[in-house]
């Protein structure tokens, strides 16, 4: 069934979850095709794109919180990161929202706004909610896979990833300048949740001597040796840590977990590291999708290294949200525009309930009901074996 048969004229679009580069490019890419089609469509068949502000939260409000989207007004936005539609981490299918009948409310708001079709830009949580809502109410849905983590199944690359890597590399290189000037070791933490793609690419491209990933079996004694080796040869060092890396894990050998506990205890029992102890004792927060709020593993690594390698200065730096802001780099501009263009093509072909995925250099439709996260760095990946520059000096 085609767009014309479904009488799709008013298309809603929202961005959910964390912001990243490429959101605006998808919006512009889709709006370009709508404008192009409207040049030849009869007046009663012309389409419009309506922005829903603050993600799924827009559909929990009676007003819908919308903004009209005009291409000439927003055409340059594809060059910037973030989202012109604003975002939120709102889970329509959380226990509380199910009890509040949020999915039913969302469909009522869509009907009130005369939205014929919804395009949802986000990661696996946001896209999964779109698939579930579309199936439950037989409503035309589309998605686009974003995340700086690059961990969504069904696509070789998500938009947001390349820009976060570029910004991380700049951050690492700036730290290198000071590390070299003062004979220091910098521990640099980068975002990426439980998939280490950002740390992997940025660590290698930034020349980090040690790169620590969530996917590896971490052995801090080995890390200490690599750092000491680097210091002896270069008098400075960069250690890149993915925020999802862990000191303890059930898949680690018992001896490693025990050794890491000894190292951690030596730090948190030292008054010098009172802030590390305070972090360690803080309760872990979770978002509405049940995802634990990460960040701070680099601080543990920094403290353990400083305490166990003598006569050398250390600094800890957390890239934080800076690496997903600023400009959208070339790959994310192009990928976002391609995804927006592809969504329009799927509409015209009557392929509903899908999101575009990159397969080689082709864009293919993927089922929203099958989307999931957890695309991790495999241990047999070429880059996994290249991640520690200290191994080659």
Question: Are 222 and 81 members of one domain?
Answer: no
Residue 153 three-state SS: coil
Question: Are 100 and 236 members of one domain?
Answer: no
Residues 147, 156: Cα–Cα separation, whole Å:
12
Residues 230, 301: Cα–Cα separation, whole Å:
16
Q: What's the domain range around 122? A: 3-159+328-370
Backbone angles phi, psi at 185, to 5 degrees: -110, 125
The total domain count for the chain is 2
- Say what the pTM is: 0.92
Residue 287 reports pLDDT greater than 70: no
- Residue 292's pLDDT band, with cuts at 50, 70 and 90, is low
Question: Are 109 and 250 members of one domain?
Answer: no
CA dihedral 267, 268, 273, 274 (to 10 degrees): -170
Question: Are 196 and 130 members of one domain?
Answer: no
Domain-embedded: residue 22: yes
Give the pLDDT confidence score for residue 5 in this predicted structure: 61
Give the pLDDT confidence score for residue 311 in this predicted structure: 84
105 contact partners, CB below 8 Å, separation of at least 6: 59, 60
Residue 66 three-state SS: strand
Could you give the residue numbers annotated as active site? 149
- The string of pLDDT tens digits covering residues 155-204 is 999 999 999 999 999 999 999 999 999 999 999 999 987 899 999 999 99
- Which CATH number do you get for residue 202? 3.40.50.460
Can you read off the two tokens belonging to residue 149? 């983590």
Question: Are 126 and 169 members of one domain?
Answer: no
Residues 257, 270: Cα–Cα separation, whole Å:
20
Q: Which residues pair with 118 in a beta bridge?
A: 12, 141
The position carrying tokens 């250099």 is 361
Give the pLDDT confidence score for residue 293 in this predicted structure: 58
Domain-embedded: residue 257: yes
Residues 171, 168: Cα–Cα separation, whole Å:
5
Question: Are 286 and 142 members of one domain?
Answer: no
- Residue 65's pLDDT band, with cuts at 50, 70 and 90, is confident
Which tops the pLDDT comparison, 232 or 280?
Answer: 232
Residues 78, 51: Cα–Cα separation, whole Å:
15
Residues 178, 236: Cα–Cα separation, whole Å:
9
Question: Are 10 and 154 members of one domain?
Answer: yes
Residue 9 reports pLDDT greater than 70: yes
pLDDT, average across residues 78-105: 93
Question: Are 155 and 170 members of one domain?
Answer: no
Residue 343 reports pLDDT greater than 70: yes
Give the pLDDT confidence score for residue 1 in this predicted structure: 45
Question: Are 38 and 153 members of one domain?
Answer: yes
Question: Are 310 and 222 members of one domain?
Answer: yes
Alpha helix (H) residue ranges in the chain: 3-6, 23-38, 71-74, 95-99, 102-112, 124-137, 161-182, 197-205, 220-234, 254-268, 274-281, 297-308, 330-349, 382-386
Strand order in the sheet with 10-15: 66-68, 48-52, 10-15, 117-122, 141-145, 354-359, 362-367
């Amino acid at each position: 069934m085609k767009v014309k048969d479904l009488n799709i004229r008013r298309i809603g679009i929202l961005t959910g979850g964390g912001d990243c580069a490429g959101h605006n490019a998808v919006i512009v890419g889709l709006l370009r095709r709508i404008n192009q089609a409207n040049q030849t469509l009869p007046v009663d068949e012309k389409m419009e794109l309506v922005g829903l502000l603050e993600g799924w939260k827009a559909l929990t409000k009676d007003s819908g919180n919308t903004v009209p989207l005009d291409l000439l007004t927003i055409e340059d936005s594809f060059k910037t990161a973030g989202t012109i539609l604003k975002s939120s981490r709102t889970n329509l299918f959380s226990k509380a929202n199910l009890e509040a009948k949020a999915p039913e409310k969302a469909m009522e708001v869509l009907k009130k706004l005369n939205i014929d079709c919804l395009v949802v830009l986000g990661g696996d949580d946001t896209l999964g909610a779109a698939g579930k809502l579309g199936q439950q109410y037989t409503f035309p849905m589309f998605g686009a896979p974003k995340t700086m983590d690059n961990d969504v199944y069904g696509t070789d690359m998500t938009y947001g990833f390349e820009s976060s890597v570029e910004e991380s590399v700049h951050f690492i290189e700036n730290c290198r300048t000071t590390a070299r000037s003062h004979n220091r070791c910098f521990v640099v933490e980068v975002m990426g949740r439980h998939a280490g793609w950002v740390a992997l690419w940025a660590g290698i491209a930034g020349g980090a001597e040690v790169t620590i990933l969530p996917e590896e079996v971490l052995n801090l004694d080995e890390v200490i040796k690599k750092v000491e080796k680097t210091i002896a040869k270069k008098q400075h060092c960069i250690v890149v840590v993915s925020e999802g890396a862990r000191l303890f894990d059930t898949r680690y050998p018992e001896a490693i977990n025990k050794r890491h506990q000894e190292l951690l205890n030596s730090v948190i029992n030292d008054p010098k590291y009172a802030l590390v102890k305070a972090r360690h004792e803080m309760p872990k927060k979770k978002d509405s999708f049940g995802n634990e709020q990460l960040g701070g593993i680099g601080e543990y690594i920094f403290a353990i290294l400083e305490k166990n390698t003598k006569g050398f200065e250390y600094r800890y730096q957390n890239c934080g949200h800076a690496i997903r802001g600023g400009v959208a780099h070339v790959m994310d501009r192009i990928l976002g525009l391609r995804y927006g263009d592809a969504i329009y093509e799927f509409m015209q072909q009557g392929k509903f309930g899908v999101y575009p995925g990159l397969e080689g250099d082709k864009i293919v439709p993927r089922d929203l009901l099958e989307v999931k996260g957890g695309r991790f760095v495999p241990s047999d990946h070429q880059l996994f074996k290249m991640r520690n520059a200290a191994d080659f000096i």
